[in-house]
Amino acid sequence: MNKERILALADHIEKLPHNDDMDEIGPHFTMSRYFNPCGSPSCIAGHAICMFSNKKFEDVFDYEFNEAAEVLGLDFETAGKLFTPSALNAGKFWSEITPKEAARTLRHLAETGEVKWFNKLSKL
């Protein structure tokens, strides 16, 4: 696990606006889509690839789960919990996960090695 990259990704995502609008152009965050129609990254995996690989936004066409896991140094199981959280684990639908919540989950992962999605009922 590459803690430095995970923490840098958390800092990056936390500053983004949360927007699930398919017509919105420009960088923003939503877990409901890998990339936006304009080619900018959307979810944790999309932002990870664009931050830490040599690929340009327009060169990533499909959901490249394995590449996103690799650039963050995650095993398949951990990457699955981070990139595709179940509503049961996250406490909400993907489109409802905010940049702040994603950043908190990434920081927790860097600190503990565990993916834990915090919902409104979770203690800080």
- What one-character-per-residue DSSP string does 37-82 give? TTS-B-SHHHHHHHHHSS--GGG--S--HHHHHHHHT--HHHHHHH
pLDDT tens, 59-99?
655 557 788 899 999 999 999 899 888 765 656 677 788 99
pLDDT tier, 57 (very low <50, low <70, confident <90, very high otherwise): low
The answer to whether 85 and 31 have CB atoms below 8 angstroms apart is yes
* pTM of the predicted structure, to 2 decimals: 0.83
